[in-house]
């Protein structure tokens, strides 16, 4: 997907329930979940499976409707929407007082940069987890606990 596409899809769901100055998350959530499910379905095989864990022989399946995949698709959708909205407002110089407004644009660019920084920080955390898990001699709950992923 892309930022413009995610912005458009999520924006459509939000706009249906927008009441100045906010929108109703609770009413938007079913539509956002449907978009996330459609995105997962586009990646899945004919049985709605994306990851099948055949090598371990456990029979585990992850795909359309699984909590992990739905959260994954929802988080990417919301990231695309957020980046798109902030970039649009920066590009337009969005301001209720006077548009286009270079000062407002500068502030929206700062917001977009801060958002990018947070996403980059999250990617760095994921990279660190990948290295630690791949490099571990022993898998199990204790490793997850040592990584702060389990109480």
Taking the C-alpha atoms of residue 143 and residue 54, their distance in angstroms, rounded to an integer, is 24
pLDDT band at 1 (very low <50, low <70, confident <90, very high): low
Q: How confident is the model at residue 23 (pLDDT cuts 50, 70, 90)?
A: confident
Confidence category of residue 120, pLDDT binned at 50, 70, 90 = very high
User: Tokens for 138?
Assistant: 């022993």
pLDDT digits (tens, 9 = 90+) for 40-84: 999 999 899 999 898 898 989 989 999 999 999 999 999 999 999
Q: What percent of the chain has pLDDT over 70?
A: 99
Mean pLDDT of 95-107: 93
The answer to whether the CB of 49 falls within 8 A of the CB of 63 is yes
Q: Is the pLDDT of residue 20 over 80?
A: no
pTM of the model: 0.88
**Segments in 22-99 forming alpha helices (H):** 25-43, 67-92
pLDDT of residue 24: 80
Q: Most distant CA pair in the chain: distance in Å?
A: 63
What is the C-alpha separation between 130 and 101, in angstroms, rounded?
A: 43
């Amino acid at each position: 997907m892309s930022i413009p596409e995610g912005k458009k899809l999520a924006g459509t769901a939000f706009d249906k329930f927008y009441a100045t100055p906010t929108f109703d998350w609770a009413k938007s959530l079913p539509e956002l979940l449907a978009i996330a499910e459609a995105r997962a379905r586009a990646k899945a095989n004919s049985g709605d499976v994306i990851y099948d864990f055949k090598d371990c022989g456990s029979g585990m399946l992850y795909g359309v409707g699984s909590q992990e995949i739905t959260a994954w698709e929802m988080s990417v959708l919301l990231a695309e929407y957020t980046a798109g909205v902030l970039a649009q407002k920066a590009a337009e110089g969005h301001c209720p007082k006077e548009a286009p407004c270079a000062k407002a644009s500068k502030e929206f660019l700062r917001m977009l940069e801060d958002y990018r920084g947070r996403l980059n920080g999250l990617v760095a955390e994921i990279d660190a987890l990948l290295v630690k898990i791949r490099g571990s001699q022993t898998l199990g709950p204790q490793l997850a606990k040592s990584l702060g992923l389990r109480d």
